[in-house]
Each structure stands twice: as C-alpha cells, then as structure tokens.
C-alpha cells in the first residue's frame, strides 16, 4: 500500500469507510459502512464524497432556494444575464465608497 507520509502511514491506517458522517451517517456506496477506503479505491471514494457533498447531499436545499427565488424572479428570465450581473442585481455592488460625500448622499438622519 502507498505511504501517505514519511512515517509510513498508509491510507488504510485511517480507518475510513464509504460513509459521510458530517451530519448524519450517509452511505456513499452500497454497504458503505463496511467498505473500507484503500489506496486502490480512494479515487472512487473521493468522487463519491464530492458528488454527495456538492450534489445529492445539498440537492434539497438547492431546490428549495431555487423555488423561493423563482417565486420572486423566475429563473428562466435570468438566462439573459451573466453571472456578475445577477450578483450585482441581488447583492449590489461590491465596491463601497466610504467617503463623506457618499455617506451624506445615502444616509438621512431622521430620528434624533
């Protein structure tokens, strides 16, 4: 087996299995809790974990966000914009002018 460091630690020494335990135990492969990660199947493990963490593991949250956002602004209408244009419409400019003229222009003292 391939050593991971100068002390001779092998991937098999880490006692990893094909499960994600970040929130709840989720099998990344059939019978994942008994399938050990080895140097021979490590690429499969990395691919399964990546797919889960960035895909299937967050799909419900992404779907809920899209449904909520789409109720305000239909997603099909966003296709005409580039990513940075959408960011500016949703989040505003990333450049903040903190000079006295800008502050006085945008702040109106009204309550004492």
* Residue pLDDT, tens place only, 9-37: 888 888 899 999 887 888 999 999 999 99
Verdict on whether the full-model pTM lies above 0.75:
no
Q: Each residue of 50-59: pLDDT tens digit? A: 999 898 888 9
Q: Each residue of 101-112: pLDDT tens digit? A: 888 888 887 776
Cα–Cα distance between 111 and 34 in angstroms, integer?
Answer: 65
pLDDT of res. 92: 82
Residue 1 has pLDDT above 80, yes or no: no
Residue 47 has pLDDT above 90, yes or no: yes
Q: Each residue of 68-103: pLDDT tens digit? A: 988 988 888 888 999 888 888 888 877 777 888 888
pLDDT of res. 48: 94
pLDDT of res. 87: 86
> Under a CB-based contact definition with an 8 Å cutoff, are residues 20 and 26 in contact?
yes
pLDDT of res. 103: 83
């Amino acid at each position: 087996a391939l050593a991971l460091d100068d002390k001779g630690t092998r991937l098999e020494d880490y006692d990893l299995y094909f499960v994600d335990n970040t929130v709840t135990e989720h099998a990344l492969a059939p019978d994942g809790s008994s399938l050990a990660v080895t140097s021979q199947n490590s690429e499969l493990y990395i691919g399964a974990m990546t797919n889960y963490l960035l895909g299937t593991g967050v799909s419900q949250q992404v779907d809920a966000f899209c449904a909520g956002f789409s109720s305000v602004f239909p997603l099909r209408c966003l296709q005409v914009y580039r990513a940075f244009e959408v960011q500016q419409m949703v989040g505003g400019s990333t450049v903040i002018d903190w000079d006295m003229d800008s502050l006085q222009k945008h702040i109106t003292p009204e309550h004492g």
